[in-house]
Amino acid sequence: MASIKEKVNEMILKGGVFIKFGDKIIKIIIIFVVMKICTRIGYALINRLFKRQKQSRFGFDERKSDTLSELLKSITKYAIYIIGIISILKEVGFDISTLLVGAGFGGIAVGLGAQSIIKDVLSGFLILFEDQFSVGEYVTIEGMSGVVEALGLRITKLKDFSGDLHIIPNGQITKVTNHSRDNSRALVDVEIGYEEDIDNALQILTKISKEVEEENESIVEGPTVLGVSELGDKGVKITIVAKTKPLQQYGVERQLRKKIKENFDKENINIPYPTCVIVTKSGNN
Residues between 79 and 118 with contacts to a second copy, criterion CB under 8 A: 79, 82-83, 86-87, 89-90, 92-118
Task: Decide whether 207 or 258 has the Cβ nearer to a second copy.
Answer: 258
Q: Which of 277, 196, 274 is nearest to 238 (CA)?
A: 196
Provide, rounded to whole angstroms, the least separation between the CB of residue 2 and a second copy: 5
Q: Which of 74, 96, 78 is nearest to 86 (CA)?
A: 96
Cα 113 to chain centroid distance, Å, stands at 18
Residue in 47, 74, 177, 200 binding a second copy, rule: CB under 8 A: 177
Query: Scanning residues 215 to 234, which ones bind a second copy (CB under 8 A)?
Result: 226-231, 233-234
Check residue 44 for interaction with a second copy (CB under 8 A).
Answer: no
Residue 16 neighbours by CB distance under 10 Å? 11
Amino acid occupying residue 38: C
Q: Which of 178, 174, 172, 181 is nearest to 146 (CA)?
A: 178
Provide, rounded to whole angstroms, the least separation between the CB of residue 72 and a second copy: 13
Query: Scanning residues 107 to 166, which ones bind a second copy (CB under 8 A)?
Result: 107-119, 122, 126, 129-130, 132, 140, 142, 144, 152, 154-155, 159-166
How many residues contact a second copy, by CB under 8 A? 133
| CA distances in angstroms from 251 to 109, 182, 224, 225, listed in the order given | 53, 17, 16, 18
Helix, strand, or coil (residue 50):
helix
Beta pairing partners, 239: 189, 227
CA–CA distance, 128 with 148 (Å, rounded to integer): 13
Provide, rounded to whole angstroms, the least separation between the CB of residue 96 and a second copy: 7
Provide, rounded to whole angstroms, the least separation between the CB of residue 224 and a second copy: 12
| Interface map 184-203 toward a second copy (x if CB under 8 A) | xx-x--xx--xx--x-----
Long-range Cβ pairs for the range 227-232 (8 Å, 24+): 227/202, 228/198, 229/189, 232/191
Task: Decide whether 119 or 213 has the Cβ nearer to a second copy.
Answer: 119
CA–CA distance, 146 with 140 (Å, rounded to integer): 7
Check residue 236 for interaction with a second copy (CB under 8 A).
Answer: yes
Residue in 31, 213, 218, 222 binding a second copy, rule: CB under 8 A: 31
49-57, 75-83, 205-213 -> range binding a second copy (CB under 8 A): 75-83
48-56, 204-212, 269-277 -> range binding a second copy (CB under 8 A): 269-277
Task: Decide whether 29 or 214 has the Cβ nearer to a second copy.
Answer: 29
Task: Decide whether 159 or 213 has the Cβ nearer to a second copy.
Answer: 159
Residue in 179, 206, 211, 224 binding a second copy, rule: CB under 8 A: 179
**DSSP secondary structure letter of residue 271:** P
Dihedrals phi, psi of 198, to nearest 5 degrees: -60, -50
